[in-house]
Amino acid sequence: MAKVKNKRNAGLADRVHNKKKAEANKKKLNPFEVHINKEKLKVLGKKSKHDRGLPGVARAKAIQKRKETLGTEMKLLNKTNTFIDRRIGEKNNQISAEDRMIARFAAERVKQHSKKSIYNLADDEILTHRGQTLEQIEKFDDPRSSDDEDEEKQFGGLDNDFVSEGHFGGGVLSKAESKDGAKSHKDLIEQLIAESKKRKAEKQKEKEQTLDLTEKLDSEWKDLQPVVFKKQKVQEESLIDKLLSKAEKGQDYDKMMRELRFEKRGTPSDGLKSKEKQDEEERKKIEELERQRELRMISEEAVTTLKNAKPPKHRSADDLDDNFELEDEKEFMLAYDKDGKPLVPEHVLKDYSVPNAKKVFDDGVSDTSDEEGDNEEESDEDDNEVEDGNTDEKNEATKSEDSDEETSDESESEQETEKSNKKGSTKNRSENLKESKGSKRKHSSNSDDEIVSSLDNSKKNKVKSKTETESLQSSESKSNKLNSSNDKNVSDEENDEDEDDEDDESSDDSKDGSDDDSKFNNLNDLKGSDESEDDDIEDSDEKIGAFFEIKSVEGDNLKELLTGKTPSQHTIALQKLIKSYDPGLSENNKELLSRLFAHLLQYTHDVFSNVSEEGDIIKSFLIFDRLVPFFYDLIHINKVSTKKFLVELLKEKYDAYKRNPKKVPDLNTLIFFKLVSTLYPTSDFRHPVVTPSLIFMSDILTSARFTDAYSVSRGFFIVSLILEYTVLSKRYVPAAVNFLRGVIYLCANTCVLNPVQVVPPFRLHKSAKILILERDCSHMTAERKMAAKDLAATEIDDSLKIRCILTATLMLKEFFDNYMEIEALEAIFEPHIQLLGRVDLDLYPKKVSKKISEVVTYMKQNLEVKTYTQMSRDKVKPKALRLYEPDIQDVFTGSKSSKLSKENADRARLQGKYKKEMKGALREIRRDKAYIASVKIRQKIQSDNIRKDKVKQIYKDASIQQGELNKLKRMK
Amino acid sequence: MAAVQPNLSKMISAQLRNKANEFLNSRKHANNLADILQMFEAETENYTPLLLTIEVIFTELLKRGDLIQHIVPLKPIDHSPEAEYTRWLCECYEAAIVRALECMRRGKTSSRLQALVTACKLLQAEGKHPLEHTTGYFFPSVRLKNIFLVLLDSETSMSAPITRFQEFTEYRDMQQHGLKVLAALAFRKSPSPIYMQNFLELLDKLLAAKIPLDNKGKGKDRDNDENEMKVLCASEGKPNFPYNPAVCRRFANRCWSFACQWPLCEEPRTHRRALLLLVERLMPLLNRPHLATDMLCDSLDAGGPISMLALQGVLELVRHHNIDYPDMYDRLYAMFEPEMFATRYKKRLMHLTDIFLSSTHLPESLVAAFAKRMSRLALVGSPEDSKGLLQLVANLLLRHPALKRMICCEDTPAIMSNDPYVMEESSASRARALGSSLWEVRALRGHWEAGVAAAAARVLAAAERDPPLSLALEEDSALFDAELKKRFKTIEINFIRPQTMALPSGERLLQYWELTA
């Protein structure tokens, strides 16, 4: 009743109930089906899976499974074929036929995009053109032959008029016209034929002409090829040439094609860069160099610490964390180059003195590895030229093998004649040179004539030269001499070729020079007449040509070349000299130029020696100004030997100075410090030239006595150079700071009672206060800079005193700024400030006193702001304990035979497993057998039953028949 | 000894050689000797050839024994020509020696030196072949006395000959007899400064060869010594010279006791010489060295190089003779002034300071003040001096672990507005250096000279390093040469071509100088 009453609720409840029931049904086991396996030994905490089983269910499952597998197999037993329908959507009746097709097409496309064919784009699609595949079309035949087809026009090349007339017969009107013309059809046709023949002939002719032209062009191209393409093997080419000439016309094409295919293509050279690009590259290069320079500024130790910060690449498992590093330097293989010098890395050379190896500083030979690059860059163009020339010559040689000997003879004789000429009179030489001015080809042809003319000369001159060389043997070894003269031949030739260009340049330069000169109007004596320069230069050409002839007089040569000239003329002369001995022109030139460097040093020394007048000093500096770029050039040509020369010079100067360390060296020593700073990077932590010169300067400042105008002005000169040396690195140079302190001390009023310490060479109360201003100079105009006249000054006048203190203060400020980072700033500069405070500023010109007080307040302020933090070390991180790989041991397998060895235990375990599996498999097979038997028995029973039924039926039928028969019988 | 005017002097010396040979070969040319001696009268600068000649002649004569006079006692003087000749030779010999000694006073330095050498050579020859027949060892003390009399001149400084004389003082007999003679000569009431100078120098040279100290080890060592001992007047077949260090010491003491009474401290040169002698040579020999204490203390107050020298003596006294010296360290502290760089004895001072401050019982504040002051000085010194000072500071840091706080403060570093260290404070322990740090050393890390920068780095790393190094003192100008010897892998050169003298960047010379107009 309740159900009826509350139907909705009851339904819900029912549903819930049913659900629960279903779940319960599912899970609920028939207790009669559960079979409990008896446990023999109870192990505590052991989870047993097999404590209970459902034999009925399990059996049913197994049977079901067998039915699906073994049963179906049995069904198909002894059947040869199976039929599987895999058409997509075939069995599915719901899909329409169209959808089915679409699905199949999609599947096909998907298949195509399988992984294998992902990169074969359009592999399957064969592209066609007019029904032909492209492959068939692309036969790369001779393009000439295709001309014919192109020419072929419609209707066999007949005119449109004709066609329209002839083919279509024309209308009434046209016929009438034809009649007028009185031309029969036959005539017409004949005319047509004649015309077409004529045209064909014309075409044929034209074609032949173009063919000829093409061939000609080809042959010319062949000639050109060696010129255009670098480095071709001569032998090969000549072979090909021969073959080509021999071969018939038909083979020509194949040859050509093959040749083109295997031929070395011209090596691609860098395209010409635009100006911006070049500038950009230049800038980048310089930036890189700057970066390297800054790196070199740091000391090696700091660098090593920086390096150490990087984690090592590899850590051994045995690493004990003690920063021990295995030295696994790569072993190098000892090899020798063609000169018999070992090819050994630089550092090895340094560490072990390999007997064969030349010392690093021995001469300019060993440094080639470093420098070659530079030189190559510089003389790239020249190299190319030379190489081109070489290949040219080679070609000639190969082409005209017969004439080869001749040419070689020629060249030899040429050399000889030139050599002899050179040693002979200069007139002869100039003739020779004039002749050689022509182009190379011409030159060779000319040489025949030349030989005739100069052979006689050479004979004469040879005798002469012999005597000369003998006379020279004392000064120089013979072989050396000959070499150098040989080289000169080459260089001379080049020389003359260059000459024209140079003349242009030099004229440009002279213009520049005159511009520059106009700056120094006040020095009229220096402004030589530009017009006469050219004459001078021509004179000097001869000197240049013979510059290095005799070793002993090189220096004199240079002196002769340069003395009595204006600075701008110096530039031109040197430019010419250096260019004519460009290292690209001859091997020896490098050495010659380094010798030139030494002579230039000597010349500089001479220029600055014994200059006591202001004008002389200025002139010397002007000359030096012009020399500096050439020093730079020369030093780039041969780093090592030029460095050697400069260092030797410094050493010599230093020894001379040490003989009397209390006297400041004169300008002919000091100028080289300036030279060093222009040539070498002064910021390097250690540098073979810069460091010694710094030591030298510091020595001068610490031990010389500054008691007169001469020494004080030179002291300032040195200090400004020291500033220049340390402008980038900001290194601390006590000697310079002390010198400034001393100079300010000399300017200041100090009394005995309240002394301010000074550092030797200045002595408290002992140094005479030579710089102190005694009278009021407040109205004097002050010059801002020290000047050349100060270097020449013998007496200290008031203006010099003023300049001294001004310069000292300005320098002091710069040092102060340089050392701003140093914590001990106060300790360094406090005495200076004190001393500056004692200077009687009222006496000085207003500008100067203002400047000084500005600097003092600036320094004071900065010192006030300066804070001091006690030095402490970076906290050292505690080293983490190293963790090791976990030590994995065998898991206890619980097998009884734990005493067995590992292999045996494994073996036993595997055997146990195998046994188990075997057992299970046998059981399965047995059950399969049982299943098969049961199926078979069932089938048999079934067929028996059918047979029985049929028998029964038969009996039944028979009995019915019998009964009917009997009935009939009975009825009868 | 080579003649300066080649031709003339060569001729003269050839002539002289001829004459000497002739004289030595036969007695006919006896007058040659007189001629030679006569030539001393000529006024020249250079007596060298003459001196050499008489040296040759008389050495030969002495060797031959021509000079030996056979005087038989209780007999009248022999007047035979032979004896007369011998007597004449002896007279000439005496005259020659007098001439030679005179030559020491005048003429060129080389000639003076040659005179000394000649005199000494003659002395040696006479020692080997004595004029009177003796059986034992003979040393012609009289000759030596004459030489010394010349050397101890009151007017002219004899430092050049005395320096030359050193080559003879290596001989033990010369040393012993020299000391004896000198002690006999020494007494003088009020000597001139030059005399004192000469005396001190001579004494210094006489003591140049070390006198062995212990008298006990006479056994085998002594024998060995004797074998090696150089004896000037040794001749074969005669007993060896009995060298007695104790005697030497006694005479040296006597010499010094005379010198002590002189006003040594009045002139700085003499003062320095005396101190140098005392400190370098005499100290270990003196019987009662503490008697020198007064002098040393006075010298210590004198300041400059003198006090540096005195310091060494005081150190000796303090270390070996139990002398207590008040304010020793403050005096030492006061010596560390920039002026020390100009003195010759700065290296000695550094070395002594290293010894003085090696005691671990010194108060921290004192040692800290030293460290601070030295690093301040290193800031202004030349590279060599800075290196030495930094080494000293490093040693201090190593010996006194408490100073570590000056380079690595353990507690959180405070920021100060100025350096707590007071440079002007004369007392080291009140200079408040412990609160400061060695910023100066850090500044020296940026020193232009790589060696100094490295030394500074070593100081900063001193906390964990090996035992202190002794101060290695370099020669002057070694730095320059060392730098030249250094090898570089590459020679870096500038990469921007200068168009003029001015640098493309960072030109400073032309900023301060107007050179080309």
| B444-477 pLDDT per residue, tens | 888 888 888 888 888 887 655 556 666 655 555 5
Give the pair of three-digit tokens for residue B330.
Answer: 């403050």
Asked if B514's CB is within 8 angstroms of A786's CB, the reply is: yes
Count Cβ atoms below 10 Å from residue A751 Cβ, excluding itself. Answer: 8
Which ipTM value was assigned to this complex? Answer: 0.75
Judged by CB atoms closer than 8 Å, whether chains meet at A787 and B513 is answered as yes
| Residue B198 confidence (pLDDT) | 80
**Partner-chain contact B498 A738, CB within 8 Å:** no
Question: What is residue A25's predicted lDDT score, i.e. its pLDDT?
Answer: 61
| Complete DSSP assignment for A509-530 | HHHHHHHHHHHTTT-TTT---S
Tokens standing for B56?
């040759």
In chain B, residues with a C-beta closer than 8 Å to the C-beta of A679 are 493-494
Cα–Cα dist B49/B67, whole Å: 23
Cα B20 to Cα B14: distance, rounded to the nearest angstrom: 10
**Nearest-angstrom CA–CA distance, A661 and A663:** 6
Phi, psi of B187 (to 5 degrees): -60, 125
Paired residues of A787 in beta bridges: B514
Q: Do A871 and B409 touch (CB under 8 A)?
A: yes
Query: Residues of A with CB below 8 A from B388's CB?
Result: none
| pLDDT number for residue A942 | 96
Hey, is the C-beta of B488 within 8 angstroms of any chain A C-beta?
yes
What residues are paired with A343 via a beta bridge? Answer: A335
In whole angstroms, give the CA distance from residue A535 to residue A540.
9
> Confidence band (pLDDT; 50, 70, 90) for B53?
confident
**Nearest chain B alpha carbon to A653:** B480
CB neighbour class for A327 (10 Å; exposed up to 12, middle 13-18, buried from 19)? exposed
Closest C-alpha to A562, from A582, A543, A549? A543
| Chain A interface, best mutation among B343, B389, B491, by max A CB count within 10 A | B491
Sign of CA dihedral A222, A223, A228, A230: positive
Residue that is written with structure tokens 């022109």 in the block:
A585
Q: Identify which of B486, B501, B508 has the shortest CB distance to residue A720.
A: B508
Q: Are B217 and B273 in contact (CB under 8 A)?
A: no
The mean pLDDT value of chain B amounts to 77
Nearest to A699 by CA among A669, A729, A678: A669
Of A301, A680, A723, Cβ closest to residue B494? A680
CA distance B438 to chain A (A): 7
pLDDT mean by block of 10 residues, chain A; 972 residues: 50 69 66 84 81 85 90 86 80 84 87 69 62 67 49 54 60 49 75 92 94 91 75 53 60 77 63 77 85 75 55 59 56 60 54 42 39 40 42 43 43 45 43 42 43 44 44 42 42 41 40 40 40 46 57 67 73 78 75 82 85 83 84 83 87 88 86 87 84 88 85 89 86 88 84 74 75 78 79 82 87 89 84 85 85 90 83 75 79 63 86 95 93 93 95 91 90 84
pLDDT score recorded for residue B115: 81
Interface contact B509-A635, CB threshold 8 A: no
Which of A633, A629, A643, A736 minimizes the C-alpha distance to A687?
Answer: A643
With an 8 Å Cβ cutoff, are A759 and B413 in contact?
A: no
Q: What distance in Å separates residue A646's CA from the closest CA in chain B?
A: 11
Q: What is d(CA A389, CA A367) in angstroms, rounded to the nearest whole number? A: 28
Subunit contact B416:A724, Cβ cutoff 8 A: no
Please tell me whether the overall predicted TM-score, pTM, comes out greater than 0.90 for this model. Answer: no
Q: What is the mean pLDDT of residues B201-230?
A: 61
Q: Which residues contact A431 (CB under 8 A, 6 or more apart)?
A: A421
Q: Bridge-partner residues for B428, per DSSP?
A: none
* Cis omega (within 30 of 0) for bond into A761: yes
Burial category of A4 from C-beta neighbours within 10 Å (exposed 0-12, middle 13-18, buried 19 and up): exposed
Element (H, E) at A255: helix A249-262
* B484 interfacial to chain A (CB closer than 8 Å): yes
Query: Closest Cα partner for A438 from A521, A500, A522, A347?
Result: A500
User: Which contiguous run of DSSP H or E holds residue A52?
Assistant: strand A52-53
Chain A within 8 Å of B408 (Cβ-Cβ)?
A: yes
Share of chain B above pLDDT 70, in %: 83
List of residues 6+ apart from A493 with CB closer than 8 A: A436
Tokens of A884: 């090791």
Determine the number of helices (DSSP H) and then strands (DSSP E) in chain A.
Answer: 36, 8
> What confidence score (pLDDT) does residue A160 get?
65
* Per-position b or e across B180-195, b if 16+ CB within 10 A of its CB: bbbbebbebeebebbb
The answer for A 767-826 residues in CB contact with B (under 8 A) is 783, 785-788, 807, 810-811, 814, 819, 822-824, 826
Cβ within 8 Å, pair B497-A633: yes
Nearest C-alpha neighbor of B276 from the set B330, B339, B355, B345 = B345
Give the bridge partners for B447, in sequence order. Answer: A732
Question: How many angstroms away from the CA of A731 is the closest CA of chain B?
Answer: 5
Distance (Å) from the alpha carbon of B331 to chain A's nearest alpha carbon: 18
Neighbours of A435 (CB within 10 A): 17
Backbone angles phi, psi at B514, to 5 degrees: -110, 90
Whole-number pLDDT of residue A766: 72
